[in-house]
A = this chain, B = another copy of it.
């Protein structure tokens, strides 16, 4: 299939207009140019969203769920097309592109069920003739900022919940992936058309860079800001949103580790490492970046791992059989090389990590995945580099392994490979992993949408997707109705005139 064929499925033409240029990591080719949103228009967009909110918040939630159900149907229908476009624009392999769209479908199904729940509580009151309850109401327009590496799923995680919760969405995708965002808007509008009576502007896409992003983040009309990206960006967002008393849902950097214990099933560990360290060319927020191997296991595991690394099929992510596509761009490649250089300076022994396929893709940044055996958890290891670099450390006791796992600023995902329940439960306990995600005998990446997704520390503390992550899109109201004819005070206080 030609690039332009994929684009045309969503009505995107390779226009000559000035604006944001979408470039494929596959070969560096320009895919299309999309109009940028002028930051000066932000107030208008927010006003649109505010109007949509006035109407949408009083639409019954199950009816709002119907829109999301239709969105799910449209995503099912567009799965292959959108999966391919994701592959083309973000550079991940087609299988992962499909997986990403499946995640969108899954969250829609989940959100539809949620639309008849959005459970608050009724609560026993201490006063006679009083009924207490807690209700969740729509919070207001929600800003979604997403990153290039999950160019569509992150939007859907937020949008499916926000829409069911009664909140219109303004979406600022990564500047690197404007086309998939445009395609999602097309799909969304298909659902809206079938739905019938939705207010206008329930989902608005803002194409652009830092300037428009900052204008959005600062706007008081967006009480909920869900931002996925770097810790640096998240810190800025957090500060600005906090100062205006908005609510941030931050999904920032991860520095995800796997502990491989003596009792581990090494075949499984090996497969898990491979998928989670090399998949998406090391550019998932949940990518495995640190391997903490028991010193008795390392001599067995590492040679097998290196052998596997050497056989990973690297190439165009659109070709079948390929497991590892390109880095997103030249900057990513440069950052990777900087990290490897630093790692060496800090005592690391590097295997792999070179650029490859330059003949075939002179403007694509393909690399071999890198394994770096480190003498200690140095600076470079504690830092997240968005590339397929796997640092390897060894340990002697589980305490030590957990301490290593926790001794980084990030707190997204973590895992242990062990068949010893004392180890695995210890890892999951209050004294275990300090991450938001902790897995046993699974790699750190590839979360299901049914759980809450997110992490602690510099990862930002936000939660998206399943469990009660939806509460972040609503406001809570504690209500007490006095249906008696008396007015008792709480805590038995007496306060009466004469």
8 A-B pairs, CB-CB below 8 angstroms? A61-B125, A106-B116, A118-B123, A124-B450, A132-B451, A134-B467, A265-B485, A440-B481
Contact B421 A487 (CB under 8 A): no
Contact B426 A483 (CB under 8 A): yes
Nearest B-chain residue to A442, judged by Cβ: B482
**Chain A residues engaging chain B, CB cutoff 8 angstroms:** 57-63, 65, 69, 95-96, 98-100, 102-103, 106, 109-138, 166, 234-235, 238-239, 241-243, 245, 247-248, 250, 265, 268, 271-272, 274-275, 279, 308, 311-312, 323, 418-422, 424-426, 428-431, 433-442, 446-453, 456-461, 463, 466-467, 475-485, 487, 489-498
Contact B461 A431 (CB under 8 A): no
Contact A487 B436 (CB under 8 A): no
Nearest 3 A/B pairs, CB to CB: A113-B113, A425-B483, A242-B242
Q: Which of B58, B102, B275 contacts A431 (CB 8 A)?
A: B58
Contact B134 A452 (CB under 8 A): yes
Given contacts A461-B245, A493-B95, contact A429 B119 (CB under 8 A): no
- A127 vs B434: C-alpha distance in the bound complex, in angstroms? 21
Q: Which of B99, B133, B250 contacts A493 (CB 8 A)?
A: B99
Q: Which of B115, B138, B433, B491 contacts A430 (CB 8 A)?
A: B138
Q: How far is the CB of A378 from chain B (nearest CB, A)?
A: 21
Given contacts A421-B419, A428-B477, contact A450 B497 (CB under 8 A): no
Contact B133 A122 (CB under 8 A): yes
Contact B109 A135 (CB under 8 A): no
Name the B residues within 8 Å of A447 (CB-CB). 478, 480, 490
- A250 vs B130: C-alpha distance in the bound complex, in angstroms? 27
Q: Which of B121, B250, B448 contacts A119 (CB 8 A)?
A: B121
- A128 vs B442: C-alpha distance in the bound complex, in angstroms? 13
Contact B483 A421 (CB under 8 A): yes
Contact B235 A245 (CB under 8 A): yes
Name the B residues within 8 Å of A265 (CB-CB). 485
Contact B238 A243 (CB under 8 A): yes
Contact A239 B243 (CB under 8 A): yes
- A495 vs B95: C-alpha distance in the bound complex, in angstroms? 8
Contact B116 A466 (CB under 8 A): yes
Given contacts A118-B124, A494-B95, contact A57 B268 (CB under 8 A): no
- A133 vs B131: C-alpha distance in the bound complex, in angstroms? 12
Name the B residues within 8 Å of A124 (CB-CB). 60-62, 115-118, 450
- A122 vs B429: C-alpha distance in the bound complex, in angstroms? 12
Name the B residues within 8 Å of A426 (CB-CB). 483
Q: How far is the CB of A166 from chain B (nearest CB, A)?
A: 6
Contact B492 A99 (CB under 8 A): yes
